[in-house]
Structure 1
Amino acid sequence: MAEIQETSSPLHIVVFPWLAFGHMIPFLELSKRLARRGHAVTFVSTPRNAARLGAVPPELTARVRVVTLELPAVEGLPDGAESMADVAPEKVELLKKAFDSLAAPFAALVGEGCASHTGGDGEADGFERKTDWIILDFAQNWVWPIAEEHKIPCAMFLILPAALLAYIGTKHDNEAHPRRTTEDCMAQPPWVPFPSTLSYRRHEAEAIAAGFRPNASGVSDIDRLLQLVHHPSCRLIVHRSCPEAEPWLFPLLTDLFAKPVVPAGLLLPGDVVDDEDGHAPGGGHEPFAAAVRWLDEQPRRSVIYVALGSEAPVTPAHIRDLAVGLELSGARFLWAIRPQSGDHSAGALLPDGFERRVAGRGVVRAGWVPQVRVLAHAAMGAFLTHCGWGSTMESLFRFGHPLVMLPFVADQGLIARAMAARGVGVEVPRDDADRSFRGADVAAAVRRVMMEEEGEALARNAREMQEVVGDRVRQELYVDELVFLQRYK
């Protein structure tokens, strides 16, 4: 447990993430880091999400408070849906529409000065003071009148890699080089002046092109982002990343956007047990003891962990093809399948007889799995992943596991290209016409990483990368350097 530091200039910081667990969890981790450095943090979310995120550590309750805003109902959005984990991919734009309705209650919260609060010892704490900073996600393009009225500076905290912002570029860049077609979205941006992996495959570019078009909320995701980063009240941009993970990009972005673009580090929890304290996005989780006993019986570095995240648009067809590939590969595996349509039975999603045929060398778990605990196990040798930034950090940067990569959306293709270029992973080929993949190609990629000579080089490269990027002392220094909050206030 990190020691709480006192600071001579404590701040009151309001932190407000987008409604996805891949966003809320790192925002909460940043909040804890800031609180340990003596600042008071008001963390804003919705009631159900706040409950599923779990309790603030007791030693931080005097410095971190969670405030909830009721998410308004929107036609077409399922009852009780408050996060991307609660909705199908095609409903996410309705979640953004509901999120926009939080502008008025958020304005009231800020206008009240984030109402004074008393700690458990009865003494007034930092919450009674006016908000010094608001730390936002990509989605709150409606925040500027609120920030301007109360003269509160804002910082954007982007949980996605710096590579995605470099790919998107500035408003001026996009006006000078408009991306109107899929082909436009496949090319490296002309404002990136050095060779890079900043390009998309066709099926990924089609999804990226959709991000430039307005959705049901009335605005595109790219416009939301650019409205935020270019506003004068946005004093700086903070990435959950670091130069060791993404060389050359931070100076480029600072030049492009004419404001500081700085790393917060990876913000990984300090101990594996921290992963056990969180809650599953669906609320609760099944006992995991049997899977742990199975892992304990497997040879060192012999198992590949398979998980495609809590919010990737995975279909039943994807699951069936992945099952075919894992069976053909002959590898030992532990597979966490996210339930779909309320069905918590893995068997309902798998080919007939699959679990019987792989019995002894493969374990399938439906629902939530303590991912960090699994990745930390000595039996784990690689990770088959959708290449979400958080999962890449946990597996590669934290534990040095090579990757079998199956990207779906957003930044995931950029991450896969970058990790392949650095020799730490193998990407599964996809059909550009329908975005499908073949079980045989999954099997070939798994064998390359787990069973063939190439896998030894990938594992060695992954461990070397982990030693550099996963340096905990260096990572904490990035948070220490967030004194820019005082400097730019």
Structure 2
Amino acid sequence: MAKRPAPPPLHVVVFPWLAFGHIVPFLELAQQLARRGHFVTFLSTPRNVARIRPVPPELSRYIRFVSLPLPAVDGLRDGAEATSDVPPEKVELLKIAFDGLAAPFAGFLTAVCGEEAGEGHGRRPDWVVVDFAHHWLPPIADEHRVPCALFFVFPAAFVAFIGPKELNDAHPRTAAEHFMVPPPWIPPPSPIAYRRQEAEWMAGAFQPNASGVADGARQLETVRRCALLVCRYSREVDGALCTLLDGIYGKPVVPSGLLAPYDAAAAASSSDAAGGGDDEETASLVRWLDAQPERSVIYVAFGSEAPLTPALVREIAQGLELAGVRFLWALRETSGGMLPDGFEARARAGGRGLVRVGWVPQVRVLAHAAVGGFFTHAGLSSLVESFLFGHPVLMLPLFVDQGLTARLMAERRVGLEVPRDDRDGSVRREDVAAAVRRVMVEDEGEVFAGNARELREILWDTARQEEYIDELVEHLRRRQED
């Protein structure tokens, strides 16, 4: 029998929401597709495209970046194109601007679909992979007969908890109390529920914001209009939740694997071994780490979007002082002025602490031998980066999926949560100090570290992680073969 010719490479358009916590995993997904010879067009705004890290040279012919101009919006300063560029209360203005990308996207798709016989990036797209916020995009793609897939950068627990529009319509959730228990479509017993201050945030996410559309409604409508759902999970980590998702959503939910930044991890390890080549900011940070004992430093970072209040910053800072352990704290610019008077000077004088305001090479820090734990908001990307190096975690979840993930990680005994007041979400410095010591100093910390090292082994089973991408490609190919 004649051998069937191999199908042509896919052309996949990927378009993340305007947050680097979304852009980075979308880029990891794009690179995984490119490594298999598929062509990826990566859409974002001009300033975001300029800030994306360069792809490996061998992938540059497969991934092209296309900038869509972000419309001006009253109250949104020029150059604010990502959530890290604005305070939390102005993110809803960014959503107004984002919705204004519908016309530029339509123009892009019309142009690329006009060349039926093209190849590579000139070929009609086989798929558009969107994010939670793109409720307006699937109708545009439908006009060109291009199917959409929604890529959840959130973990399986959150995807299961939110559910599709049909189940939300059947079981309305309008008050905080509705989010403080598992939804009826998740079998009991389950730890998947929000604490009160998190539940109030979630209830607010289902109310319209300045864009006129609630974040929850955006996601439910985008899910409804997409033919395929892609979720950033691993069966070895997420377990039984994975088997529920297809049934909950009534359509295929395909794993992408955890999309760990292996290239960055390898580069970080080799940089520490080789030395040199760093800018002065990074070099001075690495010199400080080099002077600390092995596994003695807790790295503290709450991401580029964390809604930290002055009260939280103050209690965390004074808790770190009370704990008496070495720490490296990466603070975003908008939080730098919230520190208690004299805190940085006391930390430097005692030789135990270092505060960096602005960007810090997180993977490089986590790869350093002096780091022994990570104090984090429990965002999935940060957890994956921590477990790549076998670090236990101390968690202070702040919004979206983080509370659910923190419950599961605490149940798995890879770390623990900082206690918070259930009425207002406040923390006490004494509780921060006690939690830091449990992770970094006391015998319990060795249990957390041992369990974190088990997750490191799962993550570094790269052959298994590659299989998830191969499974995803097979799903994407099915339409091409129909």
TM-score range, shorter chain: over 0.9
The one-letter amino acid paired with 1:259 is: K
Residue of structure 1 in register with 2:352 after alignment: 361
Deviates more, 1:141-150 or 1:313-322: 313-322
Q: Give me the whole-angstrom Cα distance separating, in 1, the residues matched to 2:171 and 2:7.
A: 47
Aligned in 2, Cα 1:38/1:115: closer, same or farther, shift over 3 Å?
farther
Q: Give me the whole-angstrom Cα distance separating, in 2, the residues matched to 1:238 and 1:386.
A: 23
Q: Give me the whole-angstrom Cα distance separating, in 1, the residues matched to 2:452 and 2:441.
A: 16
Give the CA deviation at 1:285. Answer: 8.1
Partner of 2:372, secondary structure, is: strand
Aligned in 2, Cα 1:44/1:286: closer, same or farther, shift over 3 Å?
farther
Residue of structure 2 in register with 1:28 after alignment: 27
TM-score if structure 1 supplies the norm length?
0.91
Superposed CA deviations along residues 208-262 of structure 1, whole A, max 9, x for unmatched, are 001111111111111111111122xx22111122112211122211011111111
Q: Give me the whole-angstrom Cα distance separating, in 2, the residues matched to 1:195 and 1:107.
A: 46
The answer to whether 1:434 aligns with 2:424 is: yes
Aligned in 2, Cα 1:82/1:433: closer, same or farther, shift over 3 Å?
same
Q: Give me the whole-angstrom Cα distance separating, in 2, the residues matched to 1:350 and 1:408.
A: 18
Superposed CA deviations along residues 379-412 of structure 1, whole A, max 9, x for unmatched, are 111100011111011102x111111110100000
What are structure 1's unaligned runs of at least 5 residues? Answer: 1-5, 117-123, 278-283
Residue of structure 2 in register with 1:281 after alignment: none
Aligned in 2, Cα 1:464/1:453: closer, same or farther, shift over 3 Å?
same
Give the CA deviation at 1:435. Answer: 2.0
Contact kept, 8 Å, 1:305 with 1:384, in 2: the verdict is yes
Partner of 1:238, secondary structure, is: strand
Give the CA deviation at 1:275. Answer: 6.5
Q: Give me the whole-angstrom Cα distance separating, in 2, the residues matched to 1:135 and 1:159.
A: 12
Superposed CA deviations along residues 293-347 of structure 1, whole A, max 9, x for unmatched, are 1211222211111001111111233222111010000111111111118xxxx5x
The answer to whether 1:182 aligns with 2:173 is: no
Residue of structure 2 in register with 1:478 after alignment: 468
The answer to whether 1:448 aligns with 2:447 is: no
The answer to whether 1:389 aligns with 2:376 is: no
Residue of structure 2 in register with 1:403 after alignment: 393
Give the CA deviation at 1:180. Answer: 1.9
What are structure 2's unaligned runs of at least 5 residues? Answer: 271-277
The one-letter amino acid paired with 2:465 is: Q
Residue of structure 2 in register with 1:300 after alignment: 294
The one-letter amino acid paired with 2:476 is: L
Task: Report 1:122-271 matches (<5 A).
Answer: 125-231=119-225, 234-271=226-263
Residue of structure 2 in register with 1:120 after alignment: none
Contact kept, 8 Å, 1:285 with 1:369, in 2: the verdict is no
Residue of structure 2 in register with 1:419 after alignment: 409
Residue identity (%): 59
The one-letter amino acid paired with 1:395 is: S
Give the CA deviation at 1:94. Answer: 1.1
Q: Give me the whole-angstrom Cα distance separating, in 2, the residues matched to 1:274 and 1:135.
A: 28
Residue of structure 2 in register with 1:467 after alignment: 457
TM-score if structure 2 supplies the norm length?
0.92
The one-letter amino acid paired with 1:354 is: F
Q: Give me the whole-angstrom Cα distance separating, in 2, the residues matched to 1:162 and 1:351.
A: 38
Task: Report 1:41-56 matches (<5 A).
Answer: 41-56=40-55
Q: Give me the whole-angstrom Cα distance separating, in 2, the residues matched to 1:125 and 1:46.
A: 25
The one-letter amino acid paired with 1:353 is: G
Contact kept, 8 Å, 1:20 with 1:83, in 2: the verdict is yes
Partner of 2:14, secondary structure, is: strand
Task: Report 1:367-386 matches (<5 A).
Answer: 367-386=358-377
Give the ranges of 4+ consecutive aligned residues of structure 1 lying more than 3 Å apart after TM superposition: 273-277
RMSD: 2.1
Contact kept, 8 Å, 2:269 with 2:368, in 1: the verdict is no
Residue of structure 1 in register with 2:57 after alignment: 58
Query: Structure 1 or 2: larger helix share?
Result: 2
Q: Give me the whole-angstrom Cα distance separating, in 2, the residues matched to 1:471 and 1:7.
A: 29
The one-letter amino acid paired with 2:234 is: C
Contact kept, 8 Å, 1:285 with 1:368, in 2: the verdict is no
Q: Give me the whole-angstrom Cα distance separating, in 2, the residues matched to 1:315 and 1:56.
A: 35
Q: Give me the whole-angstrom Cα distance separating, in 2, the residues matched to 1:375 and 1:289.
A: 15
Contact kept, 8 Å, 1:336 with 1:367, in 2: the verdict is yes
The answer to whether 1:350 aligns with 2:334 is: no
Give the CA deviation at 1:8. Answer: 4.1
